[in-house]
């Protein structure tokens, strides 16, 4: 136990910003401080004992999920408490989005706060199983948690939490896929059918950042006024900023000197927006949503002025199509069709009719997938058609693309 522990305030979740390897697990290339169990207890005190009454506090605080969808935690909890079947609570630590690294960073810096959050959720809901679900290639996260178990004196059969390695796939972190996997099926999404049997087994999936915020809330500590972001510039960085920080301020803080032409918000299945539209917007999710935008799991990719947004979008849609669950029509046929149209547009093989066909296919597959994966591709496509409309005009009218710099986002190489 050191005195420095008291100096670090609890108004941030991270112990500091980190620079990560370009994609994949959130392994930092710079030094990152992991909070030991002693420091954790010293700062936050022991984990409080909770009951189902915690639901009222969760509801009052308006705690939202931080995996990207911002579902109120109280909604999930109330459903779970109404039903009587055996309950599994999952800490979703699988950041399957290739760029996202905020959850992995949180795990590496504050594993005990994550564990507390999971134990608190499990206790409040009277769960029968508590699971940590990892992306298959995140070996560091597993090691961090195992070390944390040891620090807590858990060993052998006394470990109350299972760690499960999911597959190494884009859809591995999807809540329905996790639900299916933890009940013995394949880790693939499935369509939601109304559950009529109150005794049916049930699973609640909560993102690890949500759980750390729950761990603060259960102790009566205020929620932080911050947001965790992963930004891909020259390097992939995870930073924690105040909600009132504008997107422009975030980039200035990260050392951007020249304004980008556009920004991809929310990750590979995210939304493109022009720089002029978003520069002055705060990273506050509520405000972003009122502008019909979202940062999802907090991923931001600024696109430099000299890069071709059509080409990058074509790469992204091809990536999303390749990461199909191969289960339903929109995924098997719709997404490859979108990718094909985008490739034609990027290669300047397309014309106005290609764009019409793209629009028709977008509206044909929207909302019809077994999961939200195809919708990610349609949303990305729609936003790209708007954001790069002027440039697309050049691509389809036989003028050469003036962008010479080839930007390839990690994992999307052709």
Binding region for another protein (CB under 8 A): 190-191, 193-194, 327-330, 332-334, 361, 364-365, 367-370
Nearest distance, CB of residue 162 and another protein, angstroms: 27
Residue 295's alpha-carbon distances to 5, 94, 274, 398, in angstroms, are 32, 18, 14, 35
Please report how close the Cβ of residue 368 comes to another protein at its closest, in angstroms. Answer: 6
Q: How far is the CB of 189 from another protein (least distance, A)?
A: 9
Other C-beta atoms closer than 10 Å to the C-beta of 372 total: 16
Nearer to another protein, 173 or 334 (CB): 334
CB nearer to another protein: pick between 71 and 332:
332
Beta carbon of residue 83, minimum distance to another protein (angstroms, whole number): 18
Query: Which is closer to another protein, CB of 186 or CB of 222?
Result: 186
Q: At what angle do helices 102-109 and 111-125 cross, to 10 degrees?
A: 100
Q: Which is nearer to another protein, 359 or 368 (CB)?
A: 368
Cα separation, 304 vs 76, in Å, equals 40
Nearer to another protein by Cβ, of 104 and 350: the residue is: 350
Q: Each residue of 146-167: b (16+ CB within 10 Å) or e?
A: eebbeebeeeeeeeebebbbbb
d(CA 275, CA 301): 11
Report which secondary-structure segment, H or E, holds 90.
strand 87-92
Comparison of 176 and 412: residue with beta carbon closer to another protein: 176
Residue 322 CA to chain centroid, in angstroms? 19
The CA–CA distances, whole Å, from 161 to 128, 131, 158, 230, 414 equal 10, 6, 9, 28, 40
We find the least distance from the C-beta atom of residue 364 to another protein, in angstroms, to be 5
Distance between CA atoms of 227 and 378, rounded to whole angstroms?
27
DSSP string, 94-157: ---SSS--HHHHHHHH-HHHHHHHHHHHHHHHT-SEEEEEE-TT-HHHHHHHHHHHHHTT--GG
Write down the least CB distance from residue 334 to another protein, Å.
Answer: 7
CB-nearer residue toward another protein: 192 or 402: 192
Query: Pairing mode, if any, of strands 87-92 and 129-134?
Result: parallel
Burial environment of residue 249 by CB neighbours within 10 A (0 to 12, 13 to 18, 19 or more)? middle
The smaller minimum CB distance to another protein, of residues 131 and 331, is found at: 331
Instruction: Pick between residue 227 and residue 373 the one whose CB is nearest to another protein.
Output: 373
Question: CA–CA separation, 220 vs 226, rounded Å?
Answer: 18
């Amino acid at each position: 136990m050191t005195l420095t522990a008291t100096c670090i305030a609890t108004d941030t979740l991270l112990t500091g910003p980190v620079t990560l390897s370009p994609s994949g697990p959130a392994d930092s290339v710079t030094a990152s401080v992991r909070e030991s169990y002693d420091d954790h207890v010293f700062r936050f005190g022991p984990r409080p004992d909770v009951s189902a009454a915690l639901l009222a506090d969760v509801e009052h605080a308006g705690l939202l999920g931080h995996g990207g969808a911002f579902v109120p935690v109280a909604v999930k909890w109330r459903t779970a408490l109404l039903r009587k079947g055996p309950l599994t609570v999952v800490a979703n630590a699988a950041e399957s989005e290739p760029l996202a690294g905020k959850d992995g960073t949180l795990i590496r810096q504050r594993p005990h706060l994550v564990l507390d959050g999971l134990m608190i959720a499990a206790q409040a809901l009277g769960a029968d199983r508590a699971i940590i679900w990892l992306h298959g290639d995140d070996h560091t996260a597993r090691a961090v948690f195992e070390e944390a178990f040891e620090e807590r004196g858990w060993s052998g059969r006394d470990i109350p939490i299972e760690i499960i390695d999911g597959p190494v796939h884009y859809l591995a972190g999807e809540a329905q896929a996790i639900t299916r996997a933890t009940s013995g099926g394949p880790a693939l999404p499935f369509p939601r059918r109304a559950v009529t049997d109150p005794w049916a087994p049930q699973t609640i999936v909560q993102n690890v950042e949500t759980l750390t915020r729950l761990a603060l809330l259960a102790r009566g500590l205020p929620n932080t006024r911050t947001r965790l972001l992963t930004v891909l510039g020259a390097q992939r960085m995870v930073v924690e900023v105040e909600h009132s920080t504008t997107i422009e301020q975030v980039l200035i803080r990260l050392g951007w000197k020249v304004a980008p032409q556009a920004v991809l918000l929310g990750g590979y299945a995210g939304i493109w927006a022009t720089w002029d539209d978003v520069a002055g917007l705060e990273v506050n999710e509520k405000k972003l949503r009122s502008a019909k935008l979202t940062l999802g799991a907090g991923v931001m990719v600024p696109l430099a002025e000299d890069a071709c947004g059509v080409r990058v979008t074509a790469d992204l849609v091809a990536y999303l199509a390749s990461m199909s669950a191969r289960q339903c029509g929109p995924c098997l046929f719709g997404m490859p069709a979108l990718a094909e149209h985008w490739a034609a547009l990027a290669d300047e093989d397309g014309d106005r009719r290609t764009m019409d066909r793209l629009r028709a296919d977008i509206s044909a597959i929207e909302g019809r997938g077994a999961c939200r994966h195809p919708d990610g591709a349609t949303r990305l496509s729609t936003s790209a058609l708007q954001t790069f409309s002027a440039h697309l005009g050049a691509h389809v009218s036989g003028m050469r693309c003036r962008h010479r710099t080839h930007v390839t986002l990690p994992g999307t190489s052709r």
